[in-house]
Amino acid sequence: MTVLSGFLPIWAVTAVGWAAGRFDVLGKQAQSVLGRFAFAFAMPALLFLTLARADVSRLATPGVAVFAASVLIVFALGLLLGRRVFRRSPADRAIGAMAGSYVNSANLGIPVAVHVLDDASFMIAAALFQTLFVTPLILVLIDLDAGGSAPRDRWRRVLRLPLRNPIIAASAAGITMALLDVRLPPEVSEPLGMLGGAAVPAALFALGMSLDVRTTRTVGKEGRRPPGQRADRRVPVALKTVVQPLLAYVLARWGFGLHGDDLFAVVLCAGLPTAQNAFVFASEYRLDTDLARDTVLLSTFVSMGSLSLITWLLA
């Protein structure tokens, strides 16, 4: 029950979002508006405050190195499958790879870590790595394709991305504050804290609202997805909930010689489901939101069992 209790707030907010969409409480544009609010305001505020208060030295541990390797290897595998098997566009390949590798380390990982590990420090370090290194990589890959630039302009777009993308700009500003050891006054941190507190609820609410359109957009007359589309969803879910924790275990156990609580923390973190950021990014850039949404939901459901199994085997 300690693992499952971390999932309850996610399911509750998502369910309320579904109900609001099902009964058209907020209007037809609410999902898009909430998604853009989360991307442009709430998530940047949350990331800025989190990174401004972070201890970057936490990244220099063997456990974080194992977690980073598992994320990057599975992300690369997702890109390869997206190109060779599913024939996606470069931007949709980035979303598919993100769906198969980017863990929900913050709003789900930290509660699970507190309940199961009695210590959230490793989960915070994992979230730092994803925010500082993986998120910019994903957004660069998406922007280079979705932006429609000519090849000669691509590097120029990459260099301007921090100025055009609020998430990267906020992350860069936050880590700069941390490195310079600048303390924010309450007049700044409190309004940002209020705004950042809306990031996770807004993203989950928009995710729930998107469920109401599934029957008209992705399911056929017989109520079943085409076989190719079912595989399109199963692969990132399998990468996230099976391949990544197994890879993390192999790397940690035999590559870095980790044992006990250190091994358990790495595998538990790698086994977390897909973060809802994948859905937010897909919505913002008008990519395949169905793939991101379904992977977030299915991996969250499957990981309730897989994380319980990890806890039983390694705790």
pLDDT digits (tens, 9 = 90+) for 1-15: 556 676 788 888 889
Beta bridge partners of 103: 274
Confidence check: pLDDT of 92 > 80: yes
Rounded average pLDDT over 169-185: 88
**How far apart, in whole angstroms, are the C-alpha atoms of residue 54 and residue 218?**
41
- The mean pLDDT value of the chain amounts to 84
Rounded average pLDDT over 252-275: 93
Please report where in the chains the tokens 């853009």 appear, as a residue. Answer: 36
Q: Report the interhelical angle of 199-210 vs 277-284 (nearest 10°).
A: 70
pLDDT in tens, 210-219: 877 543 344 4
pLDDT at 253: 95
Burial (CB < 10 A; 0-12, 13-18, 19+), residue 133, is middle
Confidence check: pLDDT of 95 > 90: yes
Rounded average pLDDT over 162-178: 84
What is the distance in angstroms between the CA of the first residue and the CA of the last residue of the chain? 14
* CATH T-level fold of 4-214+225-314: Na+/H+ antiporter like fold (1.20.1530)
In the chain, domain spans: 4-214+225-314
Distance, C-alpha 154 to centroid of its chain: 25
Q: Shortest CA distance to 115 belongs to which of 306, 315, 298?
A: 315
Classify 274 as helix, strand or coil. strand
pTM, rounded to two decimals: 0.81
Classify 103 as helix, strand or coil. strand
Q: Where are the alpha helices (DSSP H) in 85-183?
A: 90-101, 109-116, 121-129, 135-146, 154-164, 166-179
Confidence check: pLDDT of 248 > 90: yes
- Among 143-147, 164-168, 269-273, the range with the most confident prediction by mean pLDDT is 269-273
pLDDT at 216: 38
131 and 51 in contact (C-beta within 8 Å)? yes
**How far apart, in whole angstroms, are the C-alpha atoms of residue 261 and residue 264?**
5
| Range name among 38-47, 67-76, 264-273 with the lowest pLDDT average | 38-47
Confidence check: pLDDT of 18 > 50: yes
pLDDT at 262: 92
Phi-psi region of 218 (alpha: psi -120 to 50; beta: other; left: phi over 0): alpha
284 and 142 in contact (C-beta within 8 Å)? no
